[in-house]
A and B are shown apart, each in its own frame.
Chain A
Amino acid sequence: MTVFPECPLPLDEYPRVLLAHGGGGRLTQSLIERVLLPSFDNPYLAPLHDGALLEIGGQRLALSTDSYVVQPLFFPGGDIGRLAIFGTANDLAMCGARPLFLSCGLIIEEGFAMADLWRVVVSLKEAAKEAGVQIVTGDSKVVERGKGDGVFINTAGIGVVLAGADVGPQRVRPGDEIVLSGSLGRHGIAIMALREGLDLDVAIQSDSAPLFPMVEALAEDGIDLHMLRDPTRGGVSSALNEIAKKSGAGIVIEEERIAVGPGVQGVCEILGLDPLYVANEGNFLAFVPAGRGERAVDVLRRHACGKEAAVIGRAVAEHGGTVVMRTRIGGERIVDVMSGEQLPRIC
Chain B
Amino acid sequence: MILPWLILIPFIGGLLCWQGERFGPTLPRWIALITMSLLTALALWLWTTGTYTYAPVPGADPSWAVEFKAQWIQRFGISVHLALDGLSLLMILLTGLLGVLSVLCSWKEIQRNVGFFHLNLMWILGGVVGVFLAIDLFMFFFFWEMMLVPMFFLIALWGHSSADGKKTRIYAATKFFIFTQASGLIMLVAILGLVLVHFNQTGVITFAYADLLKTKLSHSTEYILMLGFFIAFAVKLPIVPLHSWLPDAHAQAPTAGSVDLAGILLKTAAYGLLRFALPLFPNASAEFAPIAMALGLIGIFYGAFLAFAQTDIKRLIAFSSVSHMGFVLIGIYSGSQQALQGVVVQMLAHGLSAAALFILSGQLYERLHTRDMREMGGLWNKIAYLPAISLFFAAASLGLPGTGNFVGEFLILIGTFVSAPWITAIATSGLVFGSVYSLIMIHRAYFGPAKTEEIYKGMDGRELIMVLGLAVLLVLLGVYPQPILDTSSATMHGVQQWLGTAFTQLASAR
Same complex for A and B? Answer no
